[in-house]
Amino acid sequence: MKREKYAKQGPAERLPKAGAIMLALLILFAVLLGGREGTVAAVDAAAVDAAAVDAAAADAAAAEAVDTACIALTFDDGPYPKVTEHILDVLEKHSVSATFFVLGSRVAGREALLLRMEEMGCEIGNHTFSHADLTKLSREQIEKEIADTNAEFERVLGHGAAVVRPPYGYYNESVRNVIAYPLILWTVDTNDWRPRNADELASAVVKEAQAGSVILMHDQQESTAAAMDAIIPALLARGFRFVTVSELLTIKGEACSAIKIPEGG
């Protein structure tokens, strides 16, 4: 209504007919006087606009490329002094980060490893206290598995974990209802906990990795640590960027099939 009223009282409406004709003639005259220069200026303005549009499109494409080229390396069930340390050495050498899904029961005596992970920009996720199948536990038992582990993280790091990986990837409705954190599964299972040759493991991971992949590994076997030295440079060469699972969550959220956001959260 307001807009309509405004339009009715607009200057064009109030301008007498003769005045309008004079104005039109003046505009025509100015355009003719401007001649070629005016045309060039108009073309230049259009070119600038087109360039701006192209730049914006390129920016959007670049942002999309950065987002979609992310990969999250994850290591479960540790820390194990020798293997975890070796993996951290390799990550540090290439200046990349990863996520460690740590068991609460394995924190005592390995505090320095957790501190080093955090210092390096790695994420520490909650993998329960005792590696329990959460689908077989009561609500109270599930809460205790998560809370006891976060208490250990709190003791060492001063804060709990932001993400949980249920052992074996087992979860159901009640597990999802009880755990108030995103459940992080995986998109690539390396089966690296079985005795494996480092070269075979490296070529399998490099072949299977895709934009947005969450790669499941374990910091238990030396073959995994050795494979990292081939996996990271090969994936960097393919243009991938290594992110933690919380970073991936921010970028992709529910678009990543491996991430289960809590109900109502």
Q: Is 67 considered catalytic here?
A: no
Please report, in angstroms and rounded to a whole number, the separation of the first and last CA atoms in the chain: 41
Stretch (H or E) spanning 203: helix 198-208
Between 189 and 199, CB nearer to Ni ion: 189
Say if residues 98 and 248 touch (Cβ distance below 8 Å): no
Per the annotation, the verdict on 218 as an active-site residue is: yes
By C-alpha distance, which of 265, 247, 170 is closest to 256? 247
Exposure string over 184-221, b if 16+ CB within 10 A, otherwise e: bbbbbebebeeebebeebbebbbeebeebbbbbbbbbb
Could you tell me the smallest distance in angstroms from the CB atom of residue 126 to Ni ion?
Answer: 11
Give the x-and-dash track for 123-162 against Ni ion (CB under 5 A): ----------------------------------------
φ, ψ dihedrals at 69, nearest 5°: -90, 15
The separation between CA 257 and the C-alpha centre of its own chain, rounded to angstroms, equals 13
- Residues 57 to 76 in contact with Ni ion, rule: CB under 5 A: 76
223 vs 240 by CB, closer to Ni ion:
223
Could you tell me which stretch among 3-11, 60-68, 164-172, 253-261 binds Ni ion (CB under 5 A)?
164-172
Interatomic CA distance for residues 69 and 249, integer angstroms? 14
Looking at the DSSP bridge assignments, the partners of residue 259 are 184
Q: Does 192 bind Ni ion (CB under 5 A)?
A: no
Binding mask 233-252 for Ni ion (x = CB under 5 A): --------------------
The residue count for binding Ni ion (CB under 5 A) is 3
CA–centroid distance for 16 within its chain: 62
Q: Which of 77, 86, 127, 218 is catalytic?
A: 218
**Which residue is at the shortest CB distance from Ni ion?**
76
Q: Which of 71, 72, 74, 77 binds Ni ion (CB under 5 A)?
A: 77
Q: Name which of 153 and 240 has its Cβ closer to Ni ion.
A: 153
Locus of tokens 């809370």 = 147
The nearer residue to Ni ion, 162 or 193, going by C-beta atoms, is 193
Toward Ni ion, which CB reaches closer, 169 or 253?
169
Nearer to Ni ion, 132 or 206 (CB): 132
How deeply is 56 buried, as exposed, middle or buried, from its count of CB atoms within 10 A (0-12, 13-18, 19+)? exposed
What's the closest the beta carbon of residue 127 comes to Ni ion, in angstroms? Answer: 6
- Smallest separation, CB 196 to Ni ion (Å): 16
Per-position DSSP letters for 20-86, written without gaps between them = HHHHHHHHHHHHHHHHHHHHHHHHHHHHHHHHHHHHHHHHHHHHHHHHHTEEEEEEES---HHHHHH
Q: How far is the CB of 192 from Ni ion (least distance, A)?
A: 12
Question: Applying CB under 5 A, does 167 fall inside the site for Ni ion?
Answer: yes
Closest contact distance (angstroms) between CB of 165 and Ni ion is 7
Binding site for Ni ion (CB under 5 A): 76-77, 167
Q: Which residues are catalytic?
A: 76, 218
